[in-house]
Amino acid sequence: MNIVERLDAIYAIAQHRAGYSAAEDAAHELAARWMREAGLGVSRDEVGNLFGTRGDACVWAGSHLDSVPTAGRFDGALGVVAAIEAAGRLPDAPLAVVAFRAEETGPMGSRRITSVPDAYLELHIEQGPVLAGLGEPLGVVTAIAGQARGFRVFEGRADHAGTTPMDARADALVEAAAFILHVRDCAREGTVATVGAIEVEPNATNVVPQRVTVAVDARSADAKLLDALIDDIGFEVQWKSDPVAMGDAFAAVLPDAPRLMSGAGHDAMFVPNSSMLFVRSLNGGISHHPDELSSAEDIALGVDALTAALDRLAR
């Protein structure tokens, strides 16, 4: 089977492969079979991460096989099948292919890694439109953005929507709406900020909103810019991760490829000595959606680069 056929086979198991579900289990079993066919010894760790290993492997490559409910074919799965393909092309190289568990809900598997490989390489679709805009098939990832998530609460007063004059209202949702525009305006070059969820109480069409909770997601690959963004927005941070710089394993084999940061999180954030390579996303860069698409030609170039980088590091 070629890589596209393998991606189709994983997608056929289930569009939604939740972490530690029967569907993710089945995808891991299929990947384990392909690992054996590539001449790799198969093992699992205590959290269920799947390894296909050859020799004294200090160089790893892979990604994850779980997915979001609205998944496409490429996110995560591409990195696993590409690593298996690269391992098959390097029959004498000591290396390991890894399929991490539950990346979309944690990540759960890569956070538990206790051994320290000399290098971890991850091929992934971009999940955005930058490479397509540049007309480039591949891009070397320089850093994964740090993230801050939290909320802001607005308190008002519940009143009858028909009998309360407009100038007598304390409408929490109106205040929240102004804040949402403020969040958008605080994002500057090198940062992004998003309000993706709100909770309105009592959430009735005929009642002036009394309380509104607004969820905020702020990101940047620059730690100082991220901290400044948090201060400018003004929200209570519940969870925060620092930006993570990526290694130069792919830069060494693709010196002229564009450099870009990743606004999305990946397993590579948690594995030491990680390097990442993006494959161009088509269809406007859509991801976490059935219309997610990268061309077979671009994927082939990505696998070639992954193979070359693994060959360089493993020998």
Region(s) of the chain under CATH 3.30.70.360:
146-241
CA distance 123 to 128: 15
- Cis peptide, bond prior to residue 202, ω within 30 of zero: yes
Residue 296 has pLDDT above 90, yes or no: yes
Return the ∠ at Cα 234 (arms to 230 and 240), rounded to 5°: 40
Residue limits of CATH 3.40.630.10 in the chain: 3-145+243-314
Q: Record the tokens describing residue 163, joined without a space.
A: 């009998």
What are the Cα distances from residue 48, in Å, to 108, 110, 157, 193, 277? 10, 10, 50, 34, 25
Which one of 1.10.10.10, 3.30.360.10, 3.30.70.360, 3.40.50.300 gives the CATH number of domain 146-241?
3.30.70.360
pLDDT for 84 beyond 90:
yes
Give alpha helix (H) positions in 140-264.
Answer: 172-186, 223-233, 249-253
Residue 200: its pLDDT value, please?
Answer: 98
Read off the pLDDT of residues 87-133 as tens digits, 9 standing for 90 and up: 999 999 999 999 999 999 989 999 998 778 999 999 999 999 999 99
Displacement of CA 160 from its chain's centroid (Å): 44
What class has domain 3-145+243-314? alpha beta
How long a stretch of residues is the chain? 315
Task: Tell me the average pLDDT across 66-86.
Answer: 97
Q: Which two tokens stand for residue 109?
A: 């598997």
What pLDDT shows up at residue 38?
97
Greatest CA separation found in the chain? 79
